[in-house]
Amino acid sequence: MSTLLYMKKILLFIALSALLLNGCVYPEDVTVTIDAPSRVQVGETFDIVLKVTNESTESQTLTSIDVGLDYLEGILMEESVPAYVESWEFDFFGFMSFDYKKNLPLGESLEISFLMDPITPGDYSGALDVCVNTEMACIYNTVRTVVEESELEEPETEVTE
């Protein structure tokens, strides 16, 4: 691991530790809507679409989106559009952080779409937090998806005598 990457991880760990000790700052004038199915079948890929809207009078930055590891236990994230810059897994805090560093001009919205692949049946829920301007200013959300066994149709067989 490069020294720069190691230093970034240490700084982020310190920031997150301070966050736990001092509380969080809720970003002002930013709204988030989430569109995700509540039920899917194994192998039936689906999208989670987040719409982040800047309702303030100045530009802001979408810093990151954090997804709970509990949610990712049985559902893989195949891709993100737009693509994230880098990702970090924080086992201790129970989430995977996807860094975007995308400008959010005043009055504008940004849509982020995650292509998800459910691989294991179960009831999965976890954090889906959107951080704006800093890793410590997040809008906290939860996503839940029930993954059911695939209902593959049995082919009809022809009986010959």
Q: Which pLDDT does position 21 carry in this prediction?
A: 47
Answer whether 75's CB lies under 8 Å from 145's CB: yes
pTM: 0.78
Q: What is the pLDDT of residues 112-142, one digit of tens each?
A: 999 999 999 999 999 999 999 988 889 999 9
For residue 152, give the amino acid letter: L
Quickly state the pLDDT bin for 22 (edges 50, 70, 90): very low
Cβ burial, residue 116 (10 Å; 0-12/13-18/19+)? buried
The residue written with tokens 């920031």 in the block is 15
DSSP 16-57: HHHHHHH--BPPTTEEEEEE--SEEETT--EEEEEEEEE-SS
Structure tokens at 95: 């989430």
Q: Is the pLDDT of residue 6 over 70?
A: no
Q: What is the pLDDT of residues 37-46, one digit of tens each?
A: 999 999 999 9
